[in-house]
Structure 1
Amino acid sequence: MSAPRLTRTAPAPLVGQVHLGPGAFFRAFNAVYTEDAMAAEGGDWGIVAVSLRSDTARDQMTPQAGAYTSVTLGTARATRVIGAVTQVLVAPEDPEAVLCAMTDPGVRVVSLTITEKGYCIDATTGGLNAAHPDIVHDLANPDTPHSAIGFLVAALGRRRASRTAPFTVLSCDNLPSNGGLTRAVVLDFARALDPELATWIDAQVPFPATMVDRITPATTDDDVADLAETAGYFDPACVVHEAFRQWVIEDDFVDGRPAWEAAGAQLVNSVEAHELMKLRCLNGTHSTLAYLGYLAGYETISDTVACPDFARLCEIMWRDEIIPTVPPPEGEDLTVYCTRLMQRYRDPAIRHRTWQIAMDGSQKLPQRLLGTIADTLATGRVSHGLCLAVAGWMRYVGGVDEAGQPIDVRDPMAEQLKAAATVGDLLALKEIFPPDLARHGGFREAVAEAYAALERDGTRATVRAFVQARG
């Protein structure tokens, strides 16, 4: 007999937030913090979640009235039902319903987890990519937007027209200065659409930056089956995650917010140092392990660092290449922080797939690896470990692994990347590599040497040689 479907038992909270991007990370992180904040301090902060593309989250969660299960993995394994989400909308099916939700006066925060590509950034300018197909559409059809940026501007425009207070725009993606970046692309769009609206947004709408951290592997059919067996109900919307979580938020909100600090969030004046720490120490080594680990035949991060050479590669990179470029955030010891990262990576219960982390590398490389490399070059040194990671990415996006098998490269630039025949061709892609960095002789030489070693000796031998030379 099959397990019954999860059903909501507690009353749904009144809505105070809209969230764009109801994927696994949002359900494992933002919604859990909000659930805990409402439990601690109360408040009407229920969430309308909006998918900008897929109907999967809606189809999974609507039969459960928005409820789903959060599963903490590892030695602290636990399950709990989260009820902060009250409704899931699919934007392409009914953009007007999304705009109505965003213009509801009770909605005071609109948050986003839409990944790097969802911001429609022009990599060469850091502003809005006006040629992006979704942006072209949204400027011509502002009442039926496709992009998150189009929805934000359309909803803010309606609130201004109705003299309704604006909402706070809260980016929760792994991007440096994510609040400032979101503000920049929103204002670029608004100026192209209505300069007066842009002036109003500039003066009235806060865009606080955040730093988010919780490892959230993709939920598998086995995870759903395990939950059905242990909890006695079927929940296709369940999410799995590590016990650790960290949320640092700039405390700049126009009309209130959930009491996230009661749930353990850190409310600060600036998140810059924390986000740099996380992007370089965690995300930088995560991407390194993803590309090199995948090429070496490892399925997960824990599998990869179970090999002493790959674990030592991370430790050398932290010690010699990454920590020297990161100003310590208030209250953080970077060496201790990195030691804890390795403990998280080693947890075999957190089956974070190298292939999953490797997605969208063209969007991630500049923030996770190239900035650290450039800062090190400015001191007269070369980051050979990070250059090895870049070479690993180049091998990966070539689309064929070391056994001659095809790699399913998921990247918005996948076709361009596969068409690039040489290291030089890839370095010439200005959307990824800043020209000054791409021309730097020490960087080019280090990447070319690492790429040649990966081709000649294979990934495991190349990593072992690196560790032996610098251990």
Structure 2
Amino acid sequence: MTSYKLNNKNLSKFSDEALIPQYDRSTLKTGIVHVGIGGFHRSHEAYYTDQLLHDPANSDWGICGIALLDFDTKIYNTLKEQDGLYTLIVKELDGTLTKKIIGSIVEYLYAPENPTQVIEKMASNDVKIITLTITEGGYNYNEATGSFDFTNPLVQQDLEHPQAPKTIFGYLTQALKLRKERGLPGCTIQSCDNIQGNGHMTEKMLLSFVHMAEPDLVPWIKSNISFPNAMVDRITPATSEKDIALLKETSGIEDAWPVVCEPFKQWVIEDDFISGRPAWENVGAQFVEDVVPYEKMKLSLLNAGHSVLGILGALIGYETIDESVQNKAIQTFLHSYMDEEVSPTLGDLEGVDLKKYKQSLLQRFGNIYIKDQIDRICSESSAKIPIFILPTVNAQLENDGPVDHAAFVIAAWAIYSAGLDEQGNPLNIKDALETLLKEKALVAKNSPTSFLEIESVFGKLNQSKRFVDIYTAAYQNILKYGVEECITQMNNKALNNI
């Protein structure tokens, strides 16, 4: 099959092989700035927006993608060379591929190259919404203190050199300052990250920074900027070279960075947009008054479930999430964790069939065509575990409920953080706290509780004797018997107690 590079010029050549934008991209106005143009944004918000742009009434909602960090060079260059176009490959449960070329990203900027240009774009009167996928760690939140981490060297740099920021908070502060000085209206800042109360978190962290950097700006932000909470969901594994080659071979599309994802998608948003918004509800998003119950369910079940499968599977030696969930012992362990420890903390979920939702998660995790890499799921666990797993632990401790499964996972993470699986093979650990985690993990071999002393991750959890005792026993058992044998025994014990 003849292949062509993906760009505006060649777009029509792909109409027989993929769905292509049926709107004139040259007429679109940028109404959304998005920071963090990785795979998830491109499978989720950019996809929803692309669907909406087929209605000419929505032509004011094109997206400007911002590559914020130095290592975002590749995605910036890819989008620049492809005129912002990319292919979304949906891997259906039966193995078929649905291919769609997405056209909603109409501008793309590389912040390290020209910070002033990015600040000006965020301050533009046409821009009504600034959305974020900056990962859980990007919010600079200290779990122990519950506050903004001003010890971060990049934050200190932003305070000293405000016109050349390195963090999202530095950029937002300067852009909002320009809006105020120019008498422009405010905008909405919307997080699309996996954090409960992500809008509240964004507001709290931004205002903390602004209090220090530009204190006179605080009242204006409180009056002119809205921060809706949102729950986002679509499993989007890292794109592999195999995905790129297969797309070229089967469709003739030369796309340097397509996005692969599962068919399921969900976006639940609080309707709090101060300067207008796209009608995303027309393409499947759900606007609600209170997103918290949906967020809590998703973070505590799907995201925590991913971490459980990733950490346990990594120690056994698996490489992908579907391998982990196909292990019956791990699957039973996860099911018990969701039923016995998570579900009692969720409260009333109106309109949600919780049993059906949990079953659907196991099906989604087990999609053998997704091949979600375990090292991707385990990356930045020091930011994920306080958000996905510890709220369940704290709620259960407060209610004198069971924490055995969660304690086991954290013990497994302590062993994982030493850097080797059970066969002695090196693990690919990617974490902002990698050095500290490894240091504590090595000490834990003689003193298991030392790992729980990482206060920025665990807070005061090491002061719970009940949790510490369960965790310590789990740690010692994993070292002695291995993950699979331990969880098999836990599963058998649970069955015997029925």
Normalising by structure 1, we get a TM-score of 0.97
Contact kept? 1:382, 1:442, Cα under 8 Å: no
Contact kept? 2:317, 2:423, Cα under 8 Å: no
Counterpart secondary structure, 2:142: coil
Separation in structure 1 between the aligned mates of residue 146 and residue 64 of structure 2, nearest angstrom? 30
Give the match for residue 109 of structure 1. 129
Contact kept? 1:57, 1:88, Cα under 8 Å: no
Separation in structure 1 between the aligned mates of residue 335 and residue 426 of structure 2, nearest angstrom? 31
Counterpart secondary structure, 1:39: coil
Give the match for residue 28 of structure 1. 43
Give the match for residue 445 of structure 1. 469
**Is the counterpart of residue 292 in structure 1 residue 307 in structure 2?**
no
The Cα shift of 1:360 comes to 0.5
* Correspondence for 2:75 among 57, 62, 69: 57
Counterpart secondary structure, 1:380: coil
Gaps of 5+ in 1: none
Contact kept? 2:340, 2:402, Cα under 8 Å: no
Post-superposition CA distance 1:112-156 (Å, at most 9, x none): 000012112222222221111111111111111110111111100
Separation in structure 2 between the aligned mates of residue 198 and residue 122 of structure 1, nearest angstrom? 21
Post-superposition CA distance 1:319-361 (Å, at most 9, x none): 1111111123331111111011111111101111111100011
Post-superposition CA distance 1:360-405 (Å, at most 9, x none): 1111111111110111111212311111111111111111111112
Post-superposition CA distance 1:57-79 (Å, at most 9, x none): 11111111101111100235200
Post-superposition CA distance 1:166-203 (Å, at most 9, x none): 11000000011110010011111111122220111012
Separation in structure 2 between the aligned mates of residue 367 and residue 119 of structure 1, nearest angstrom? 12
Paired letter, 1:4: Y
* Correspondence for 1:426 among 438, 451, 457: 451
Give the match for residue 84 of structure 2. 66
Give the ranges of 4+ consecutive aligned residues of structure 1 lying more than 6 Å apart after TM superposition: none
The Cα shift of 1:255 comes to 0.9
The Cα shift of 1:42 comes to 2.3
Cα distance change of structure 1 residues 344 and 328 upon mapping to structure 2, 3 Å threshold: farther
Paired letter, 2:45: N
**Is the counterpart of residue 127 in structure 1 residue 147 in structure 2?**
yes
Counterpart secondary structure, 1:138: helix
- Identify the range of structure 1 (214-223 vs 76-85) with the bigger mean alpha-carbon deviation: 76-85
Contact kept? 1:69, 1:81, Cα under 8 Å: yes
Q: What is the aligned length?
A: 470
The Cα shift of 1:2 comes to 7.1
Post-superposition CA distance 1:247-276 (Å, at most 9, x none): 010100011111110111110111111000
**Is the counterpart of residue 4 in structure 1 residue 4 in structure 2?**
yes
Contact kept? 2:341, 2:401, Cα under 8 Å: no
Paired letter, 1:438: N
* Correspondence for 1:266 among 286, 290, 302: 286
Paired letter, 1:304: S
Separation in structure 2 between the aligned mates of residue 59 and residue 330 of structure 1, nearest angstrom? 45
Gaps of 5+ in 2: 12-23
Give the match for residue 308 of structure 1. 328
- Identify the range of structure 1 (184-193 vs 211-220) with the bigger mean alpha-carbon deviation: 184-193
Give the match for residue 416 of structure 2. 396
Contact kept? 2:270, 2:289, Cα under 8 Å: yes
* Correspondence for 1:153 among 173, 176, 184: 173
Post-superposition CA distance 1:24-46 (Å, at most 9, x none): 00011110011112224523111
Give the match for residue 63 of structure 2. 47
Paired letter, 1:3: S
Separation in structure 2 between the aligned mates of residue 337 and residue 401 of structure 1, nearest angstrom? 32
The Cα shift of 1:225 comes to 0.5
Alignment of 1:63-462 (within 5 A): 63-74=81-92, 75=94, 77-420=97-440, 421-422=443-444, 423-435=448-460, 437-462=461-486
Separation in structure 2 between the aligned mates of residue 148 and residue 174 of structure 1, nearest angstrom? 17
Aligned CA-pair RMSD:
1.3
Counterpart secondary structure, 2:63: strand
Paired letter, 1:45: W
